[in-house]
Structure 1
């Protein structure tokens, strides 16, 4: 297979911010891993939390995504990376998609876009369908991180794009396995990781736990977002101040996951479920929303209980109680099963798949 090295070609990942959840972590992992494959791969952020925290292959334009003038700064940066071997510009997330579309017009570059979600707000308005069809048609490859994402996107832009869409499952960090001992003498602790936004569904988990407050020891939620104050009020209203804790962002996801006995993922929708895989890798069983993306991650594993989103609080109470009982009866088997399932989503599988996409595009430049 032809390698993408030096003058043979370059790859530039473009994503709005250096901070955030799954997409940002995947991009950093992908770009770093490409270095080990002798791929000339870089990442460009529109803005970064701190210029000092950027790695050697990362750059920031220092411009907010809300400023449309970013198109010209992005175009200038793209042109600076063009060479005889060709350039692939790999866009991520909505603003990355749109700005790369405009900034690359009439430039001899190959375009790749990764669709990270099954949902976005613009799909509520039919007029955006025609614009999105134009935008997606400009990209040489559109990568979907799960089958649920692929089907959702096809239903939006139409079946004629089917041959342009490629399925590459997200990779995840595989953390150290931790044996957990949960018996009748100890109450379980719960953990969640994700942005504090309505679609993550943490309010539903808190409401469910309020009904069984005597049956668990603690619930730690790691993440930040606009919904923090609302969740804080809900915790107080539910009388769970001493048990439910909003921990803020953490740079040590492994430690956070090791601190729980059961992971709760009550998302309304998810493109993939990166934190689910990470939790599974440590042996965590899960209570998880039965939505595409998450459903694909856990498969038919007994280590997880899927909850019908339409079931509301009562369904979550029942599911949490079911998993606690199931885990107490057969902890080692469920933990090992979770770990084995997580290994199907190792980062190297994702990296190898993107490497093939990049190599094919540059070979045919």
Structure 2
């Protein structure tokens, strides 16, 4: 059988979830069994169309009206090459929070996705929205939940009771909802619990103002070693306003940390794997209650009894192999 040449295109190589997933794709032995995966960075500002040597081209590019001519050129230059788009960004809640002209945005997605043989949703929550919105034809849609190497996280010991340190890990950005978490945490009365915020970003000054003089809240800066950050916390909280999937969630579950997630978008995928969903609500009362309830639990062990022993990395590799074979 001829090995497929798979070229992954990316237009944002800054450190983050997309690049971590692509690093996993291009280095994981399981993914290399059936195909040669390569990565190519292209500029959002200027890309001169050229014929690329590949059997399959995978777009990890940001969809926009500005990028649409480039995507059309990509299709025209590769009429016989299978094209796949992985949607890392857009979700139902992203549209609700960020998009003013929703019909115009829906038209953009339909036009862009129609250029591809396959569109990959990174979560079932995102896929349900894509189907419901009519942005993509159901027969062209696949779901492959994002993944990275979790082996080091699995080696961590579960937290020891009492569960006291809550970790908020990620970019300090409006999307992540850490402001909601800080406001809810400040309303709790237990002096023995702590909130550790890992990350950097444009919201840092705002978040520090919200934390005020609460000595239980600490800002730890950028986590250069995410495993070490995970080892230092007992609980992980993800109060995102929108989230296509959430790599921190699979890392927390692999590390046997109790996980609190907003019940939105792709974060809902993690509930069946052991996460506890927190419904969005005004005033942060639900997050306050969730924090108080989970820090009152004596042990994390019961949270993970129903989890599958199948490693997400194996599921991820198999899903990619199945999709590539189906092209």
TM-score, normalised to structure 2, is: 0.86
Matched-pair contact (CA < 8 Å) for 1:289–1:307 = yes
Matched-pair contact (CA < 8 Å) for 2:120–2:142 = yes
Q: Give the stretch that moved more between structures: 165-174 or 92-101.
A: 92-101
Aligned to 1:201: 177
Aligned to 1:351: 317
Q: Give the stretch that moved more between structures: 314-323 or 21-30.
A: 21-30
Cα separation, partners in 2 of 1:158 and 1:44, compared to 1, 3 Å:
closer
1:332 to 301, 318, 321: 301
Shift of 1:3: 4.8
Shift of 1:98: 4.2
As a proportion of its length, which structure holds more helix? 1
**Paired residues, number:** 314
Aligned to 1:50: none
Matched-pair contact (CA < 8 Å) for 2:109–2:135 = no
2:19 to 18, 24, 34: 24
* RMSD over equivalenced CA pairs, Å: 2.6
Q: Does 1:178 align with 2:157?
A: yes
Shift of 1:127: 1.8
SS at match of 1:173: coil
Matched-pair contact (CA < 8 Å) for 2:125–2:267 = no
Shift of 1:38: 5.8
Cα separation, partners in 2 of 1:93 and 1:319, compared to 1, 3 Å:
farther
SS at match of 2:35: coil
SS at match of 2:281: helix
Shift of 1:122: 4.8
Shift of 1:293: 1.6
C-alpha separation in 2, matches of 1:19 and 1:177? 27
Shift of 1:290: 1.6
Instruction: Give the alignment of 1:1-365 within 5 angstroms.
Output: 2-4=1-3, 9-33=4-28, 36-37=32-33, 39-46=35-42, 63=43, 65=44, 67=45, 69=46, 71-72=47-48, 75-76=49-50, 79=51, 81-82=52-53, 86-95=54-63, 98=68, 101-108=71-78, 109-116=81-88, 117-118=90-91, 119-120=94-95, 121-122=98-99, 124-158=101-135, 161-174=137-150, 175=153, 176-183=155-162, 188-212=164-188, 214-236=190-212, 239-240=213-214, 242-299=215-272, 301=274, 304-325=275-296, 327-328=297-298, 330-334=299-303, 336-337=304-305, 340-341=307-308, 343-344=309-310, 346-361=312-327
Describe the superposition over 1:114-150 as per-residue Cα deviations: whole angstroms up to 9, x where unpaired.
Answer: 1224235457431232232221111000011112111
Describe the superposition over 1:162-192 as per-residue Cα deviations: whole angstroms up to 9, x where unpaired.
Answer: 1110111222432123132223xxx711112
Return 5+ residue gaps in structure 2 as ranges.
none
TM-score, normalised to structure 1, is: 0.77
Cα separation, partners in 2 of 1:131 and 1:288, compared to 1, 3 Å:
closer
Aligned to 1:53: none
Matched-pair contact (CA < 8 Å) for 1:132–1:157 = no
Cα separation, partners in 2 of 1:346 and 1:123, compared to 1, 3 Å:
farther
C-alpha separation in 2, matches of 1:273 and 1:344? 19
C-alpha separation in 1, matches of 2:7 and 2:138? 25
Q: Which has the larger radius of gyration?
A: 1
Aligned to 1:58: none
